A and B are shown apart, each in its own frame.
Chain A
Amino acid sequence: MLIWRTLRRFGMTEDGAADGTQQAFLIAAERLDQIREGSERAFLFGTAIRLARSSHRKNHRCQLEADMDTRVDPRRRADDAANRRTAVELLDRVLRRMDEDLVTVFVLFELEGMSTPEIAELVQIPIGTAASRLRRARQAFRAAALRLERATAVQARKGG
Protein backbone atom coordinates (compact mmCIF):
# COMPACT_ATOMS: atom_id res chain seq x y z
CA MET A 1 0.00 0.00 0.00
CA LEU A 2 2.78 2.41 0.93
CA ILE A 3 4.62 1.65 -2.26
CA TRP A 4 1.49 2.10 -4.33
CA ARG A 5 0.80 5.42 -2.63
CA THR A 6 4.35 6.60 -3.18
CA LEU A 7 4.16 5.72 -6.87
CA ARG A 8 0.89 7.61 -7.13
CA ARG A 9 2.51 10.73 -5.73
CA PHE A 10 5.10 10.48 -8.47
CA GLY A 11 2.33 10.95 -10.96
CA MET A 12 1.57 7.35 -11.86
CA THR A 13 -1.99 6.38 -12.62
CA GLU A 14 -3.71 3.98 -10.24
CA ASP A 15 -3.14 1.15 -12.71
CA GLY A 16 0.44 2.14 -13.32
CA ALA A 17 1.15 2.36 -9.62
CA ALA A 18 -0.28 -1.14 -9.18
CA ASP A 19 2.03 -2.47 -11.85
CA GLY A 20 4.92 -0.57 -10.31
CA THR A 21 4.14 -2.03 -6.90
CA GLN A 22 4.15 -5.52 -8.34
CA GLN A 23 7.42 -4.84 -10.05
CA ALA A 24 9.05 -3.42 -6.93
CA PHE A 25 8.08 -6.52 -4.95
CA LEU A 26 9.18 -8.86 -7.68
CA ILE A 27 12.53 -7.12 -7.89
CA ALA A 28 12.88 -7.36 -4.13
CA ALA A 29 11.92 -11.03 -4.28
CA GLU A 30 14.65 -11.63 -6.81
CA ARG A 31 17.15 -9.81 -4.66
CA LEU A 32 16.01 -11.09 -1.32
CA ASP A 33 19.38 -12.63 -0.56
CA GLN A 34 21.15 -9.37 -1.39
CA ILE A 35 19.03 -7.09 0.75
CA ARG A 36 20.67 -6.18 4.03
CA GLU A 37 18.64 -7.04 7.09
CA GLY A 38 16.83 -3.96 8.31
CA SER A 39 17.00 -2.20 4.98
CA GLU A 40 14.18 -4.06 3.30
CA ARG A 41 11.84 -1.10 3.53
CA ALA A 42 14.46 1.21 2.11
CA PHE A 43 15.08 -1.21 -0.73
CA LEU A 44 11.41 -1.30 -1.65
CA PHE A 45 11.03 2.46 -1.50
CA GLY A 46 14.26 2.98 -3.39
CA THR A 47 13.16 0.59 -6.12
CA ALA A 48 9.74 2.22 -6.30
CA ILE A 49 11.25 5.66 -6.62
CA ARG A 50 13.58 4.55 -9.38
CA LEU A 51 10.67 2.91 -11.19
CA ALA A 52 8.59 6.04 -10.84
CA ARG A 53 11.34 8.32 -12.05
CA SER A 54 12.14 6.15 -15.00
CA SER A 55 8.50 5.90 -15.90
CA HIS A 56 8.09 9.62 -15.42
CA ARG A 57 10.96 10.39 -17.77
CA LYS A 58 9.58 8.09 -20.45
CA ASN A 59 6.11 9.38 -20.02
CA HIS A 60 6.79 13.02 -19.39
CA ARG A 61 5.07 14.39 -22.45
CA CYS A 62 1.95 12.26 -21.96
CA GLN A 63 1.89 13.25 -18.33
CA LEU A 64 1.92 16.93 -19.14
CA GLU A 65 -0.84 16.51 -21.66
CA ALA A 66 -2.85 14.47 -19.22
CA ASP A 67 -2.26 17.15 -16.65
CA MET A 68 -3.79 19.72 -18.96
CA ASP A 69 -6.74 17.49 -19.64
CA THR A 70 -7.54 16.57 -16.09
CA ARG A 71 -7.27 19.92 -14.43
CA VAL A 72 -9.42 20.05 -11.42
CA ASP A 73 -12.11 22.62 -11.23
CA PRO A 74 -10.70 24.97 -8.61
CA ARG A 75 -14.20 25.75 -7.44
CA ARG A 76 -14.29 22.31 -5.91
CA ARG A 77 -12.97 22.90 -2.45
CA ALA A 78 -10.15 20.62 -1.37
CA ASP A 79 -11.17 20.82 2.23
CA ASP A 80 -14.40 19.10 1.47
CA ALA A 81 -13.96 15.90 3.40
CA ALA A 82 -16.46 14.17 1.17
CA ASN A 83 -14.24 14.74 -1.82
CA ARG A 84 -10.93 13.17 -1.04
CA ARG A 85 -10.23 12.67 -4.66
CA THR A 86 -10.24 16.40 -5.23
CA ALA A 87 -7.63 16.81 -2.55
CA VAL A 88 -5.49 14.12 -4.13
CA GLU A 89 -5.79 15.71 -7.56
CA LEU A 90 -4.92 19.12 -6.17
CA LEU A 91 -1.93 17.72 -4.31
CA ASP A 92 -0.71 16.01 -7.44
CA ARG A 93 -1.02 19.28 -9.33
CA VAL A 94 1.21 20.88 -6.74
CA LEU A 95 3.71 18.03 -6.77
CA ARG A 96 3.89 17.93 -10.57
CA ARG A 97 5.20 21.47 -10.52
CA MET A 98 7.98 20.61 -8.12
CA ASP A 99 11.41 19.29 -8.93
CA GLU A 100 11.62 15.50 -8.84
CA ASP A 101 14.32 15.47 -6.17
CA LEU A 102 12.20 17.68 -3.97
CA VAL A 103 9.10 15.56 -4.49
CA THR A 104 11.01 12.48 -3.37
CA VAL A 105 12.11 14.04 -0.11
CA PHE A 106 8.77 15.71 0.46
CA VAL A 107 6.70 12.56 -0.04
CA LEU A 108 8.96 10.44 2.14
CA PHE A 109 8.98 12.99 4.93
CA GLU A 110 5.48 14.39 4.89
CA LEU A 111 3.48 11.38 3.80
CA GLU A 112 5.54 8.38 4.77
CA GLY A 113 6.80 9.84 8.01
CA MET A 114 10.49 9.14 7.45
CA SER A 115 13.13 11.17 9.22
CA THR A 116 15.77 13.17 7.36
CA PRO A 117 18.56 10.66 8.15
CA GLU A 118 16.35 7.80 6.90
CA ILE A 119 15.64 9.68 3.70
CA ALA A 120 19.31 10.50 3.26
CA GLU A 121 20.20 6.84 3.52
CA LEU A 122 17.43 5.76 1.19
CA VAL A 123 18.18 8.31 -1.49
CA GLN A 124 21.92 8.00 -0.85
CA ILE A 125 22.61 11.66 -0.26
CA PRO A 126 24.24 13.43 2.68
CA ILE A 127 21.93 14.29 5.57
CA GLY A 128 22.59 17.98 5.00
CA THR A 129 21.47 17.67 1.41
CA ALA A 130 18.33 15.82 2.47
CA ALA A 131 17.56 18.54 5.01
CA SER A 132 18.18 21.25 2.45
CA ARG A 133 15.97 19.53 -0.12
CA LEU A 134 13.26 19.10 2.46
CA ARG A 135 13.38 22.78 3.32
CA ARG A 136 13.12 23.77 -0.33
CA ALA A 137 10.42 21.19 -0.96
CA ARG A 138 8.31 22.49 1.88
CA GLN A 139 8.76 26.05 0.71
CA ALA A 140 7.74 25.09 -2.82
CA PHE A 141 4.78 23.10 -1.58
CA ARG A 142 3.56 25.80 0.74
CA ALA A 143 3.88 28.49 -1.92
CA ALA A 144 2.02 26.37 -4.47
CA ALA A 145 -0.64 25.40 -1.96
CA LEU A 146 -1.16 29.04 -1.02
CA ARG A 147 -1.54 30.05 -4.66
CA LEU A 148 -3.99 27.24 -5.18
CA GLU A 149 -5.96 28.12 -2.10
CA ARG A 150 -6.23 31.74 -3.15
CA ALA A 151 -7.25 30.78 -6.66
CA THR A 152 -9.84 28.48 -5.18
CA ALA A 153 -11.19 31.24 -2.99
CA VAL A 154 -11.36 33.69 -5.90
CA GLN A 155 -13.16 31.16 -8.07
CA ALA A 156 -15.54 30.37 -5.26
CA ARG A 157 -16.37 34.06 -4.87
CA LYS A 158 -16.95 34.43 -8.59
CA GLY A 159 -19.06 31.30 -8.63
CA GLY A 160 -20.95 32.27 -5.53
Chain B
Amino acid sequence: MRDPERLLDAGTDFEQSLLRGALEERPTAALTRRMAMGVGVAGTLSYASTAKALMQTWWGKATAALALGAGVAGVSVLASTEPPAQPSAQNDPAPVPAPAAPEVVQAEPAQTSESKEPAVSVDEAAPAEATVKRRPPSSAARRAGPNAAPSTLAQEVKLLDRARSLVHQGNHAAALSLLDTYRSRYPKGVLQREAQLLRERALRQR
Protein backbone atom coordinates (compact mmCIF):
# COMPACT_ATOMS: atom_id res chain seq x y z
CA MET B 1 0.00 0.00 0.00
CA ARG B 2 1.54 3.27 -1.10
CA ASP B 3 1.04 6.50 0.75
CA PRO B 4 -0.44 9.35 -1.26
CA GLU B 5 1.73 12.30 -2.13
CA ARG B 6 1.69 14.86 0.62
CA LEU B 7 -0.45 17.93 0.12
CA LEU B 8 2.52 20.07 0.98
CA ASP B 9 3.89 19.00 -2.38
CA ALA B 10 0.81 18.07 -4.32
CA GLY B 11 -1.93 20.29 -2.88
CA THR B 12 -3.28 23.50 -4.31
CA ASP B 13 -1.46 26.73 -3.59
CA PHE B 14 -3.99 27.55 -0.93
CA GLU B 15 -3.68 24.15 0.76
CA GLN B 16 0.08 24.39 0.66
CA SER B 17 0.05 27.85 2.17
CA LEU B 18 -2.07 26.63 5.07
CA LEU B 19 0.19 23.67 5.76
CA ARG B 20 3.39 25.61 5.30
CA GLY B 21 2.20 28.21 7.75
CA ALA B 22 1.79 25.52 10.38
CA LEU B 23 5.17 24.03 9.65
CA GLU B 24 6.83 27.38 10.04
CA GLU B 25 5.15 28.16 13.30
CA ARG B 26 7.61 28.34 16.17
CA PRO B 27 7.20 28.99 19.86
CA THR B 28 8.50 32.33 21.02
CA ALA B 29 11.92 32.48 22.59
CA ALA B 30 10.31 32.91 25.99
CA LEU B 31 8.15 29.81 25.52
CA THR B 32 11.15 27.88 24.28
CA ARG B 33 13.08 28.76 27.39
CA ARG B 34 10.10 27.87 29.52
CA MET B 35 9.84 24.44 27.95
CA ALA B 36 13.55 23.84 28.33
CA MET B 37 13.44 24.91 31.95
CA GLY B 38 10.53 22.60 32.47
CA VAL B 39 12.65 19.59 31.77
CA GLY B 40 15.63 21.01 33.56
CA VAL B 41 17.97 21.13 30.64
CA ALA B 42 18.16 24.72 29.60
CA GLY B 43 21.65 25.86 29.11
CA THR B 44 23.02 22.45 29.84
CA LEU B 45 22.78 21.00 26.39
CA SER B 46 24.00 24.09 24.74
CA TYR B 47 27.01 24.04 26.99
CA ALA B 48 28.41 20.57 26.80
CA SER B 49 30.52 20.01 23.71
CA THR B 50 29.65 16.32 23.71
CA ALA B 51 26.00 17.23 23.61
CA LYS B 52 26.51 19.10 20.39
CA ALA B 53 26.94 15.96 18.29
CA LEU B 54 24.03 14.35 20.04
CA MET B 55 21.90 17.31 19.16
CA GLN B 56 22.30 16.63 15.47
CA THR B 57 19.62 13.96 15.49
CA TRP B 58 15.98 14.30 16.38
CA TRP B 59 16.08 11.66 19.03
CA GLY B 60 19.45 12.90 20.16
CA LYS B 61 17.73 16.08 21.17
CA ALA B 62 14.95 14.25 22.90
CA THR B 63 17.06 11.72 24.75
CA ALA B 64 19.55 14.32 25.83
CA ALA B 65 16.71 16.38 27.15
CA LEU B 66 15.13 13.39 28.81
CA ALA B 67 18.30 12.05 30.35
CA LEU B 68 19.24 15.41 31.72
CA GLY B 69 15.76 16.50 32.57
CA ALA B 70 14.88 13.31 34.37
CA GLY B 71 17.02 13.98 37.34
CA VAL B 72 18.49 17.39 36.78
CA ALA B 73 21.57 15.38 35.92
CA GLY B 74 24.52 17.30 34.71
CA VAL B 75 22.98 20.63 35.30
CA SER B 76 25.92 21.51 37.43
CA VAL B 77 27.18 23.34 34.40
CA LEU B 78 24.62 25.91 35.32
CA ALA B 79 26.79 26.68 38.28
CA SER B 80 29.32 28.01 35.87
CA THR B 81 30.42 31.56 36.21
CA GLU B 82 29.66 32.21 32.57
CA PRO B 83 27.30 35.13 32.22
CA PRO B 84 23.89 34.27 30.87
CA ALA B 85 23.05 35.33 27.36
CA GLN B 86 20.71 38.22 26.87
CA PRO B 87 17.20 36.98 26.28
CA SER B 88 16.25 37.39 22.68
CA ALA B 89 13.19 39.18 21.46
CA GLN B 90 9.86 37.73 22.43
CA ASN B 91 8.91 36.82 18.91
CA ASP B 92 12.19 35.42 17.74
CA PRO B 93 11.82 31.87 16.58
CA ALA B 94 14.16 29.68 18.56
CA PRO B 95 14.74 26.00 18.01
CA VAL B 96 14.52 23.77 21.05
CA PRO B 97 17.04 23.22 22.54
CA ALA B 98 19.59 24.58 20.15
CA PRO B 99 23.28 24.61 20.82
CA ALA B 100 23.87 28.21 21.73
CA ALA B 101 25.21 30.38 24.42
CA PRO B 102 24.23 29.33 27.91
CA GLU B 103 21.06 31.03 28.91
CA VAL B 104 17.76 30.43 30.59
CA VAL B 105 19.16 31.06 33.98
CA GLN B 106 17.43 34.38 33.87
CA ALA B 107 13.74 34.37 34.29
CA GLU B 108 11.36 36.36 32.18
CA PRO B 109 9.81 38.83 34.55
CA ALA B 110 7.20 39.71 31.96
CA GLN B 111 6.12 36.11 31.57
CA THR B 112 2.92 36.09 33.50
CA SER B 113 0.45 34.52 31.17
CA GLU B 114 -1.35 31.45 32.34
CA SER B 115 -2.14 28.51 30.18
CA LYS B 116 -5.75 28.22 29.18
CA GLU B 117 -5.53 24.47 28.87
CA PRO B 118 -6.59 22.48 31.88
CA ALA B 119 -3.95 20.33 33.44
CA VAL B 120 -3.95 16.70 32.51
CA SER B 121 -2.76 13.97 34.80
CA VAL B 122 -0.13 11.45 33.82
CA ASP B 123 -2.68 8.69 34.04
CA GLU B 124 -4.66 10.29 31.27
CA ALA B 125 -1.70 10.88 29.05
CA ALA B 126 0.64 7.99 29.56
CA PRO B 127 0.19 4.45 28.33
CA ALA B 128 -2.14 2.10 30.16
CA GLU B 129 0.54 0.70 32.44
CA ALA B 130 1.00 4.14 33.94
CA THR B 131 1.04 4.16 37.68
CA VAL B 132 2.77 7.41 38.46
CA LYS B 133 0.83 10.42 39.57
CA ARG B 134 2.20 13.81 38.92
CA ARG B 135 1.23 17.35 39.52
CA PRO B 136 0.17 19.30 36.48
CA PRO B 137 2.97 21.11 34.78
CA SER B 138 3.78 24.62 35.59
CA SER B 139 6.29 26.88 34.09
CA ALA B 140 9.61 27.21 35.78
CA ALA B 141 10.01 30.55 34.13
CA ARG B 142 6.70 31.67 35.54
CA ARG B 143 7.71 30.54 39.00
CA ALA B 144 11.00 32.27 38.77
CA GLY B 145 10.82 35.82 39.92
CA PRO B 146 13.15 38.58 38.99
CA ASN B 147 15.35 37.48 41.88
CA ALA B 148 16.14 34.13 40.30
CA ALA B 149 19.77 35.04 39.87
CA PRO B 150 22.19 32.56 38.35
CA SER B 151 23.97 32.08 41.65
CA THR B 152 20.72 31.11 43.35
CA LEU B 153 19.88 28.75 40.56
CA ALA B 154 23.32 27.19 40.80
CA GLN B 155 22.72 26.55 44.47
CA GLU B 156 19.35 25.03 43.71
CA VAL B 157 20.94 22.80 41.11
CA LYS B 158 23.67 21.73 43.49
CA LEU B 159 21.17 20.83 46.17
CA LEU B 160 19.03 18.81 43.80
CA ASP B 161 22.08 17.09 42.35
CA ARG B 162 22.98 15.93 45.83
CA ALA B 163 19.45 14.75 46.46
CA ARG B 164 19.48 12.87 43.19
CA SER B 165 22.73 11.15 44.08
CA LEU B 166 21.24 10.09 47.39
CA VAL B 167 18.21 8.65 45.60
CA HIS B 168 20.49 6.71 43.29
CA GLN B 169 22.44 5.43 46.28
CA GLY B 170 19.21 4.25 47.85
CA ASN B 171 19.48 6.69 50.71
CA HIS B 172 15.92 7.85 50.34
CA ALA B 173 15.48 9.25 53.82
CA ALA B 174 18.47 11.53 53.39
CA ALA B 175 17.28 12.51 49.93
CA LEU B 176 13.84 13.41 51.25
CA SER B 177 15.38 15.39 54.05
CA LEU B 178 17.45 17.31 51.54
CA LEU B 179 14.38 17.89 49.42
CA ASP B 180 12.62 19.27 52.50
CA THR B 181 15.55 21.63 52.88
CA TYR B 182 15.19 22.61 49.26
CA ARG B 183 11.50 23.30 49.71
CA SER B 184 11.96 25.46 52.77
CA ARG B 185 14.96 27.27 51.36
CA TYR B 186 13.51 27.86 47.91
CA PRO B 187 9.72 27.99 48.25
CA LYS B 188 9.56 29.66 44.85
CA GLY B 189 12.53 27.85 43.39
CA VAL B 190 13.00 27.60 39.68
CA LEU B 191 13.52 23.85 39.94
CA GLN B 192 10.52 23.04 42.08
CA ARG B 193 9.14 20.68 39.50
CA GLU B 194 12.39 18.74 39.36
CA ALA B 195 12.45 18.63 43.14
CA GLN B 196 8.93 17.27 43.16
CA LEU B 197 9.87 14.58 40.65
CA LEU B 198 12.80 13.57 42.77
CA ARG B 199 10.61 13.49 45.84
CA GLU B 200 8.09 11.25 44.11
CA ARG B 201 10.83 8.96 42.93
CA ALA B 202 12.35 8.75 46.41
CA LEU B 203 8.97 8.02 47.94
CA ARG B 204 8.22 5.32 45.40
CA GLN B 205 11.55 3.61 45.83
CA ARG B 206 11.58 3.89 49.60
Q: Is residue B180 contacting chain A, with contact meaning CB distance below 8 A?
A: no
Bitwise interface map of A from 17 to 42 toward B, beta carbon under 8 Å scored 1, else 0: 11111111111111110100000110
User: Once bound together, how far apart are the Cα atoms of A17 and B122, in whole Å?
Assistant: 16
Complex Cα distance, B7 from A110, in Å, reads: 7
B114: which of A15, A47, A128 is its contact (CB, 8 Å)? A15
Cβ contact within 8 Å between A1 and B113: no
- Given A84-B21, A84-B24; A30-B62 close (CB under 8 Å): no
Q: How many pairs, one residue from A and one from B, have CB atoms within 8 Å of each other in the complex?
A: 195
Q: Which of A55-95 contact B (CB under 8 A)?
A: 55, 58-59, 62, 66, 78-79, 81, 84-88, 90-91, 94
Taking CB atoms, residues of chain A closer than 8 Å to B63 are: 40
In the complex, which residue of chain A has the Cβ closest to the Cβ of B31? A18
Of the 9-residue stretches B43-51, B75-83, B131-139, B170-178, which lies at the interface with chain A? B131-139
CA distance A60 to B25 in the complex (A): 23
Residues of B within 8 A of A113 (CB): 6
Chain B contacts of A58 at CB under 8 A? Answer: 118, 120
Q: Are B70 and A29 in contact (CB under 8 A)?
A: yes
Is the pair A19, B70 in contact by a Cβ cutoff of 8 Å? Answer: no
Binding site for A on B (CB under 8 A): 1, 3-4, 6-8, 11-15, 17-28, 31, 34-35, 38-39, 58-59, 62-63, 65-67, 69-70, 95-96, 113-120, 122, 124-127, 129-130, 132, 134, 136-139, 193, 197
- By Cβ-Cβ distance, the 6 closest A-B pairs, closest first, are A87-B21, A16-B117, A22-B38, A29-B70, A91-B18, A79-B17
